[in-house]
Amino acid sequence: MFYFSKKLYSCTTIFMVMFVLNSGCMTASEHRADIRDDTGDRVTVGKVQREVKVGMSSSSIVEILGSPNVVTTDDKRREVWVYDKISTERVASSSANSLFVWGPNYTGAASSSQRTLTIIIKFDESSLVRDFAYHTSRF
């Protein structure tokens, strides 16, 4: 009887380990959603739409968006700032699924996406925003 109980305990342990290993799997999209952090000081279209206004000073723009990637001047020697943001997101996951101890089935998923955001801010002679535009894409 003691031998049977020991064998039963061993089978139960193996079953529990297999259950835990199989239940922790997620797809690449689930993994991306789990680790994605869209909070913080990230420059977004929404941030531009909410916070950038005509008449703002250049120092206010730097507080909101940070330093520009490119600073040029137009034909009247007024500054034009360009923010060009590109982000690439890659997520990969793999898992081993099996109903039996022998022959695990390894599966995997991967995805990649890119986002671009270009912001152009035009200043007047007094270094105040006179116009701004933006363009975003995701592929």
Q: How many helices (H) and strands (E) does the chain have?
A: 4, 4
| Structural domain contains residue 21 | no
| Structural domain contains residue 121 | yes
Write out the DSSP string of 69-98: SEEEE-TTS-EEEEEEEEEEEEEEEEEEE-
Domain residues for the domain of 96 are: 27-138
Q: What is the pLDDT of residues 21-40, one digit of tens each?
A: 555 555 555 655 555 555 55
Cβ of 121: how many Cβ atoms within 10 Å?
Answer: 23
Average pLDDT of the chain, as a whole number: 79
pTM above 0.75, yes or no: no
Confidence tier at 5 by pLDDT (50, 70, 90): low
Instruction: State residue 30's pLDDT score.
Output: 63
| Structural domain contains residue 43 | yes
| Structural domain contains residue 108 | yes
User: Which residue in the block uniquely carries the two structure tokens 């342990």?
Assistant: 13
What CATH number corresponds to the domain at position 68? 3.30.1450.10
Q: How many domains does the chain have?
A: 1
Checking if the pLDDT of 128 tops 80, the result is: yes
Q: Which of 77-81, 97-101, 108-112, 113-117 has the highest mean pLDDT?
A: 77-81
